Amino acid sequence: MNRGSIAAIAGRRLWVPHLSSRAWTVWRRDFDVFRRLFWVNFAVPMLEPILYLLALGFGLGLFVKEIHGVSYSRFIAPGLVSGAIMYGAFFECSYASFVRMYYQKTFDAIIATPVNLEEVVAGEILWGATRSAINATVVFFVVSVFGLTSPFFLLGILPLAFLGGLLFASFGMISTSLVPAIEHFNYPFFLFITPMLLLSGIFFPIEILPRALQSASFTLFPLAHLVKIARALMLSRLGLGLLWNLLWMAGVALIAFPLALYLMQRRLIK
């Protein structure tokens, strides 16, 4: 039975996402733009984790003896990688996607071809996840140069960054589908992203928070789960309990991704 007759039976138009590998042509477009500005996109962001390490690891860290049996620098290194994963995808699929959608009309140009809107949005989210993996690699490179982790663990960080990236890219795309104008990204950034950055266990162990805040953090903040897995991985303390955190992230990504497709469809197809 085709889509038309199903919709006819239901009495209204049903939304069913149509996805194909064409989404990668959209990913490729974003990748090509990134490549043109390789140094701006790749080298300059390296400064940020270096500054964080200087200010927090080697500055503030002087006053912190050890956390969980490691130096403060080693403690925050996985957190910095996780923060880069979150920002990479969320920024790409909020501000950057909004500019492409609203100002550059790039999405309009693409949906005039056999690529449909679901594939455009999926391609953007895949690219957002790729940005997370790239940004995580940059930060990981810096912290391993400082001897704060073993380069070998990049093999685990990359798939984790991509999964976290899919999740945060979908969140970014959901906000893109909802904001009336670009200024309104202040809401998700200041009410969600910044609190998440500060309260997800990057800068201090989440266990020292009051119990209620701890469970709030693990309920509301995907970053808390991400930091926990990244830290266990980079300090080589993996345990079976982390499967829960991994499943939690995968579950949220699995809900957020189709929701992002649906909401963008609702916004753009009129």
Q: How far is the CB of 244 from other proteins (least distance, A)?
A: 41
Q: How far is the CB of 111 from other proteins (least distance, A)?
A: 6
Q: Based on CB atoms, which residue is closest to other proteins, 27 or 72?
A: 27
Count Cβ atoms below 10 Å from residue 55 Cβ, excluding itself: 11
Binding interface with other proteins (CB under 8 A): 2-4, 13, 22, 25, 28-29, 32-33, 36, 104-106, 108-116, 269-270
With contact defined as beta carbons under 8 Å apart, do 89 and 164 qualify?
yes
Q: Cβ-count burial of 182 within 10 angstroms (0-12 exposed, 13-18 middle, 19+ buried)?
A: middle
In the block, residue with structure tokens 């753009």:
268
Q: Based on CB atoms, which residue is closest to other proteins, 66 or 108?
A: 108
Q: Based on CB atoms, which residue is closest to other proteins, 4 or 251?
A: 4
Q: Based on CB atoms, which residue is closest to other proteins, 110 or 256?
A: 110
Q: How far is the CB of 127 from other proteins (least distance, A)?
A: 13
In the block, residue with structure tokens 């039976």:
9
Q: Cβ-count burial of 171 within 10 angstroms (0-12 exposed, 13-18 middle, 19+ buried)?
A: buried
Q: How far is the CB of 240 from other proteins (least distance, A)?
A: 44
Question: Sign of torsion, CA 166 233 63 199?
Answer: positive
